[in-house]
Amino acid sequence: MKKLHTIVLLLLFSFQGFAQLEKGVLYINPVSGDDMNTGQKGNPLRTLFAAAEKINTAEGEGSVTVFLSEGMYALDTTVRFEPKKWKFTRENRLTIRAEVLPDDKDWNQGKMPVVISVMPFQNIPDDRLGGASNGIQVETNHVTIQGLRVLGSPVHERPADGMVIRNYPIIREGRDLDDLRVTQCLFLGDIYSAPNHLPVLASGQGVVVDHCVFYGVKDAVVFWFSDRPAENCEMHHNLIVNIYGAAVWTWSVAEDFKYYNNVVTGAEAFWILDKEEKNSFNLSNSLVVGYNQLVNKGGGPANLGEPADASKLKLGENVIIQREGSLEIVKDPTSLYYLQLAPGSLGSELGAGLFYHKK
């Protein structure tokens, strides 16, 4: 009788979880949640991993939004979103977002869910650099990730010559996938204690990164591999500050790549082309102040490649590139603009940063 009761409870939890997915929402709270809960607003899950499991095993179609409350999300294993029997579309997509977003009235940076990878680093076949780990891995079409504070991994990145221990907080490996948007996220790294090797590593088509801040990371965004030149990719309204790698890696993107209203300051390198320098790219309404290397080609986790043809970057309207100098970044942690451009300072008119609208 007791065994039957347990089975009934498990079936009930399964049905409730499916019903909640049918409603299109899942809530996560790392303090009050429990992974045996349904994921309803008053009955939240505890981990992002449990939300991914519910989505990956569900059958159906329609939009699903995963709401993360403020708090710490320590990922001790890769959170992989790869539903086989649930269909998303461009209009009805999977959204993984903070419960409170930067443009909301009561937002402050303390409201941002904090995501940090603490899982073991895995050896990769034919990789001699020491291994890597993936944080949130998206292997489905039509996904938005929004409003998260994403840290690096607390490891020593370069333990020996020729080694690079690396974490990829947001990654998509599928070369035939389409439509991934990363927006209003704050990516933070510290080269000494928690290096954030590469916040956004994405293969495939339709990769858009906008209104994000990358502060102290190594490389900001790499457009990785694709079955064909990756079309409909964009970077706009991003702020990239004090990075020890490169801001943009256009290994796979087609020439329709849109780069506008971005601000880069304090970068080791600005742009990395593919090894063959196949494509040229148009830039507009953007600012680069303070860099050591402007345009390289090739490269990889262990190096930034070699000097490339800078004329591959077509500088359009209102593009300023200045090798020396710095910009004014807000260091007051109580400010809404913490780690962003000071209002009214050089570059702030471009609107780069976490807000869609001026506050």
What is the SS3 string spanning the chain? CHHHHHHHHHHHHHHHHHHHHHHCEEEECCCCCCCCCCCECCECECCHHHHHHHHHHCEEECCEEEEECCCEEEECCCEEECCCEEECCCCCCEEEEECCCCCCCCCCHHHCCEEEECCCCECCCCCCCCCEEEEEEECCCCEEEECCEECCCCCCCCCCCCCCCEEEEEEECCCCCEEEEEECCEEECECCCECCCCCEEECCEEEEEECCEEECCCCCEEECCCCCCECCCEEECCEEEEEEEEEEEECCECCCCEEECCEEEEEEEEEEECCCCCCCEEEECEEEEEEEEEEEECCECCECCEECCHHHEEECCCEEEECCCCCCECCCCCCCCCCCECCCCCCHHHCCCCCCCCC
pLDDT value for 23:
79
- pTM here is 0.94
pLDDT value for 47:
98
**pLDDT 10s digits, 54-88:** 999 999 999 999 999 999 999 999 999 999 999 99
pLDDT value for 122:
81
Mean pLDDT, 10 residues at a time, the chain of 359 residues: 46 48 89 95 96 95 97 97 96 98 96 96 79 96 98 93 94 98 98 96 98 98 96 98 98 97 98 96 98 97 96 96 98 97 97 93
pLDDT value for 20:
56
**Taking the CA of residue 245 as centre, how many other CA atoms within 13 Å lie in the half-sphere pointing to its CB?**
30
pLDDT value for 22:
63
pLDDT value for 115:
98
**pLDDT 10s digits, 81-125:** 999 999 999 999 999 999 999 999 999 999 999 999 999 888 777
